[in-house]
Amino acid sequence: ATSVLLSIIILSSTKLKPASIHSPSPTTDSSIRHATHRNLQSLRPKGIAWLMTFPNSGTYLTTRLVAKATTTSPASNYRHDLNSYANNRLDDLSVAYTPSGPWKIDPTPFPSDGYLLTKTHCSGFCIECSPVTYIKTASNFLTRCASTPKYDDPSQNVNHRYDFDVVKKAVHLFRNPFDNVVANFNYRYKIQRGRNSRKKPANGGDWNYSFDKAGFKAWCHDLDARYAKDEDKLYPAHILSASRNVPCH
């Protein structure tokens, strides 16, 4: 059985201020939208509690359990988590917690009190990529935690995020990293086999690994060899030394 450790990290709220909304001229559509937002906020959670996870760590199960147990909807930073009910209503403030997201993942209402559990993977979680891609600065990581790719056109999503002030707490979900590596191999295999139409194979479809122990080992070996030179350049010496005999590191 997969072991999942759920630890709740309560962030200090003394340094966080309530989100502020600056209303433009009352004659504009924008002012009406923001006024509606303020009214809805008075009936909704005190703020966001990030559900921070590496992909394939149990995020879906956690949000489903919370929705079932509370009969309220958690939220997500990602459009692909939304059902058809929400995907066509991204600007509807009964679906979006702020005009920039995150968005409900369930038709049930937002919690009327407490905090809105919100899925985010932040940054640095790519599969089959160089450390050039996944080593991030603290500032970049934090920005990506609040980023919401709202539009189908990636160029429209640049710097699209909600205000950090609405984030009050965080839940950090950990999974055994060895289990996570296996889950990512399974996920990658399903993409290659066309079971997930959202994404294409990272290397253009040239992915010839069997769905068994031998295929998994071959995949890990090839990944470690492919990015060894980049790791030599970018990893600190103590991390490089510790990772040498760890497959799929």
| pLDDT attached to residue 100 | 84
Band of pLDDT at residue 101, cut at 50, 70 and 90: confident
More confident position, 121 or 31: 121
**183: how many CB neighbours lie within 10 A of its CB?**
18
β-sheet bridge partners, residue 161: 147
CA 150/CA 140 separation, integer angstroms: 19
| pLDDT above 50: residue 19 | no
Strand runs labelled E in 39-156: 47-53, 75-76, 103-104, 115-120
**How much is the pTM?**
0.71
Band of pLDDT at residue 91, cut at 50, 70 and 90: low
| pLDDT above 70: residue 49 | yes
Spell out the residues 6+ positions from residue 248 whose beta carbon is closer than 8 angstroms to its own: 181, 185, 219, 220, 223, 224
| pLDDT above 70: residue 183 | yes
Band of pLDDT at residue 26, cut at 50, 70 and 90: very low
Residues of the chain with pLDDT > 70, as a percent, come to 69
193-232 pLDDT tens trace:
765 444 444 444 467 888 999 999 999 999 888 888 988 8
Band of pLDDT at residue 44, cut at 50, 70 and 90: confident
